[in-house]
Each structure stands twice: as structure tokens, then as C-alpha cells.
């Protein structure tokens, strides 16, 4: 009898330890982060369902429900500034949205890479300004590289999830929602479907290019997938003698952002760049240099002077037509390349793409340098 009691007590103890361990793991999956959503501004989207769920099926609202805004990968940040608050780790995502240009609904339920999200949310900031400082608003007392989960919706049911921070953004997952057929009035209570479609075509809702695509049924359904292609390349900044490079930020056409804080810039797989910015110093003076890979001044204004940018022409509508995209697609896939950025003594900037004996110059770019 005594042995039976001992076995029972041991079993009860192990069960209690297992319960407390599981409870602790659940509690450890609480993080402070923001959520947001958006679309490509040229192809408007209206969402009627966008929500994460934790492993224990707790709802985590994705902020920005309804009419989405651009630009791609950054729509929610400008217009939806929600408070960072304690949230469980997301494990699944449910979405439902209407694509105006296609006049179609899409819905989907997807499993998220929770372990990868956890890894990103735990990653500490590598910006020297914050790396070794305490953060009173953080649960672990540190500044972190990523503090936001961003969702993007576009044509053909494509849904992209990014991990986002102050100076970093990475594609986490890409999904494809299926065409759905909900009752129109269950989504749009105050409008008729035919009226909404005609209003879009007759009231400058779309750019002339997109309007033509709609009328000729030539919408670029796979466009954003092509933006995700990556190449082996490294930025190489050559400054005037005696200068010091402080950091360099690279924004690519797949809406990723990478900021490098040391001079040893490693070769790695990156998408085609769209905007590069770097800070450097010389003889006690500090400078900010900017490169936009496009020759339309409005592209520059959209990044650095938002009030001067036209909403209908803020970015290239199809990066495949841009010089930078074409140059990168001339590279050999099995070799690494160097994006050489040369800053002259007069602060002028020259950019070229080098791979072996190939040296591709850039003519359609905007470059500027400012003393801080």
C-alpha cells in the first residue's frame, strides 16, 4: 500500500511540474509588439477579416481593418500607429479581402512560423545607439530589432507577412488566399457591386495604367512575386580619403530593409535595391548620402519629402521596367556581385554593379549628399 501511495505522489508531482512548465511556456510566449496591414497603393484593397490566433486560439487583432493604404510593405505604419501592448505569439492567421481592380474576394487561413516569429521578437537591436542600453518599456529590459508584424494584401490572393522594426524589415512568409464568393451585402452593406466597380473606373480611383489593365484584363497578378527574387551581392561604399562610414541602410523592392553598422559588409542574398542611404564623417563633419534607383524626382520626394509627392506617382508602378531591375537580371546566378558606390571629393556619387568582367553603370538614379 505504501508503495502505491509513493507512486501516486510521484505521478502527481510530475503532473504538477509538467503543468507548471507548460504554463510557464505559455507565459513566455507573451510579447510586446504592434500589428499593421497595407497594400500596393496602385491596386486598392478592402479587408473584412484580418486576425491572428495564438496556439491556444486567443484572438490577436491585426490593426488597420478596412480600406488599405500603401506603399507596399509599409501601409499600416504611416496611418495606423497602435500602442505596443502585451500579446501572445501568433500561430495562425485568417484573412478575407476584396480586390477592387479585379472585382474579386479572397479568403484564407494560414499557419504562421511561430518559432521564427519568436526568434525575431527576441532579437536584440544592433544599432550601437541602443544595443547596450536598457529599455524600461521592454519586458526583458533590452531594445529589440523587430517590434511589429505587418501584413500586405494584393492581386491574385497574394498575402505577405513581414517582421518590422525601426531600421529593419524581413519577409516572414508569403501565402496565397483562394477566391471566395461571400454575399456582397455581408461585406459592403451600403453599396451596390455594379455601382462600386463603375465608380472606380470613372472617378480617377486608378492610375491610367491600372485602368487600362482592368479594361484589357492584363492585371499583373504575379508582379510582387517577381520582386522576391534574390541575388548574391554586397554594397561597397568608397568614400574620400580619411572618411569613416557610420552605417548604411538598404531598402529593396520586396519591402525589406537592412541596416549595417560595421564596415565588414558581408555578401548575402538580397533582393533588388530601390533606396540606399548612408551616414559618414570626414574631418569632424557628418554627412548623409541618399540614392534612389529611379529618375523620377517624385520617387525621391515620396521617400524624403512626403508633402511634395503625388499619391498617384510615388513609386514605380512596375519595377521590372526600371534600370536597376534590368541590371540585376543581367547577373550570373552562381556568382556574387558588388554594388560599388563611389563618393567623390565634391560629394558626387557614382554607382555601378560589378561581377567578374561585367561592369554595369546606372544612369537613371537620383543621388544627393547633405552635411548634417
Q: What is the pLDDT of residue 132?
A: 76
Number of residues that this document lists for the chain: 372
Residue 243: count of CB within 10 angstroms of its CB: 16
**Residues whose CB falls within 8 Å of the CB of residue 191, separated by 6 or more in sequence, listed in order:** none
DSSP labels, 188-252: -TT--HHHHHHHHHHTT-S-HHHHHHHHTT---TTHHHHTT--EEEEEEEE-STT-EEEEEEEEE
CB 209 within 8 A of CB 317: yes
| Whole-number average pLDDT of the chain | 89
pLDDT tens across 214-245, in order? 999 999 999 999 999 999 999 999 999 999 99
**Residues whose CB falls within 8 Å of the CB of residue 204, separated by 6 or more in sequence, listed in order:** none
pLDDT-above-90 percentage for the chain: 76
CB 104 within 8 A of CB 179: yes
CA distances (Å), origin 334, targets 266, 320, 355, 356: 17, 21, 11, 12
Residue 295: count of CB within 10 angstroms of its CB: 14
CB 294 within 8 A of CB 322: yes
Q: What is the pLDDT of residue 319?
A: 97
Nearest by Cα to 331 from 233, 208, 242: 233
pLDDT tens across 14-71, in order? 444 333 333 333 346 799 999 999 999 999 999 999 999 999 999 999 999 999 988 8
pLDDT greater than 50 at residue 1: no
pLDDT greater than 90 at residue 129: no
The residue among 267 and 205 whose pLDDT is bigger is 205
pLDDT greater than 60 at residue 3: no
Q: What is the pLDDT of residue 183?
A: 97
Least confidently predicted of 135-144, 180-189, 319-328 = 135-144
pLDDT tens across 66-87, in order? 999 888 998 755 444 555 678 9
Q: What is the pLDDT of residue 9?
A: 41
Please state, in angstroms and rounded to a whole number, the distance separating the CA atoms of residues 38 and 10: 54
pLDDT tens across 103-119, in order? 999 999 999 999 999 99
pLDDT tens across 257-268, in order? 999 997 667 789
**Residues whose CB falls within 8 Å of the CB of residue 189, separated by 6 or more in sequence, listed in order:** none
Please state, in angstroms and rounded to a whole number, the distance separating the CA atoms of residues 254 and 152: 11
Amino acid at each position: 500500500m505504501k508503495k502505491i501511495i509513493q507512486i501516486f505522489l510521484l505521478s502527481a508531482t510530475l503532473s504538477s511540474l509538467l503543468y507548471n512548465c507548460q504554463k510557464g511556456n505559455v507565459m513566455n510566449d507573451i510579447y510586446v509588439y504592434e500589428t499593421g496591414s497595407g497594400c500596393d497603393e496602385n491596386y486598392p484593397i478592402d479587408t473584412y477579416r484580418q486576425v491572428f490566433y495564438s496556439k491556444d486560439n486567443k484572438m490577436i487583432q491585426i490593426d488597420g481593418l478596412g480600406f488599405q493604404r500603401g506603399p507596399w510593405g509599409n501601409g499600416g505604419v504611416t496611418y495606423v500607429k497602435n500602442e505596443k501592448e502585451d500579446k501572445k505569439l501568433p500561430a495562425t492567421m485568417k484573412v478575407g479581402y476584396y480586390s477592387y481592380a479585379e472585382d474579386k474576394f479572397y479568403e484564407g487561413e494560414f499557419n504562421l512560423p511561430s518559432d521564427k516569429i519568436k526568434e525575431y521578437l527576441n532579437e536584440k537591436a544592433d544599432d550601437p545607439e541602443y544595443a547596450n542600453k536598457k529599455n524600461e518599456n521592454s519586458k526583458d529590459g533590452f531594445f529589440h530589432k523587430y517590434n511589429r508584424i505587418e501584413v500586405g494584401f494584393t492581386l491574385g490572393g497574394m498575402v505577405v507577412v513581414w517582421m518590422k522594426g525601426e531600421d529593419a524589415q524581413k519577409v516572414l512568409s508569403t501565402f496565397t488566399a483562394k477566391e471566395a464568393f461571400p454575399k456582397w451585402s455581408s461585406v459592403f452593406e451600403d453599396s451596390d457591386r455594379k455601382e462600386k466597380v463603375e465608380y472606380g473606373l470613372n472617378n480617377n480611383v486608378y492610375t491610367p495604367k491600372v485602368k487600362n489593365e482592368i479594361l484589357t484584363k492584363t492585371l499583373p497578378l504575379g508582379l510582387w512575386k517577381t520582386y522576391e527574387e534574390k541575388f548574391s551581392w554586397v554594397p561597397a561604399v568608397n568614400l574620400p580619403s580619411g572618411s569613416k562610414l557610420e552605417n548604411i541602410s538598404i531598402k529593396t523592392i520586396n519591402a525589406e530593409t537592412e541596416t549595417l553598422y560595421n564596415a565588414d559588409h558581408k555578401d548575402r542574398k538580397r533582393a533588388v535595391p530601390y533606396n540606399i542611404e548612408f551616414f559618414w564623417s570626414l574631418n569632424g563633419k557628418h554627412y548623409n548620402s541618399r540614392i534612389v534607383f529611379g529618375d523620377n524626382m517624385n520617387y525621391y520626394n515620396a521617400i524624403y519629402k512626403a508633402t511634395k509627392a503625388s499619391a498617384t506617382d510615388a513609386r514605380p508602378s512596375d519595377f521590372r521596367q526600371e534600370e536597376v531591375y534590368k541590371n540585376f537580371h543581367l547577373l550570373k546566378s552562381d556568382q556574387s556581385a558588388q554594388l560599388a558606390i563611389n563618393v567623390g571629393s565634391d560629394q558626387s556619387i557614382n554607382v555601378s554593379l560589378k561581377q567578374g568582367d561585367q561592369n554595369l553603370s546606372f544612369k537613371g538614379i537620383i543621388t544627393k549628399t547633405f552635411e548634417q
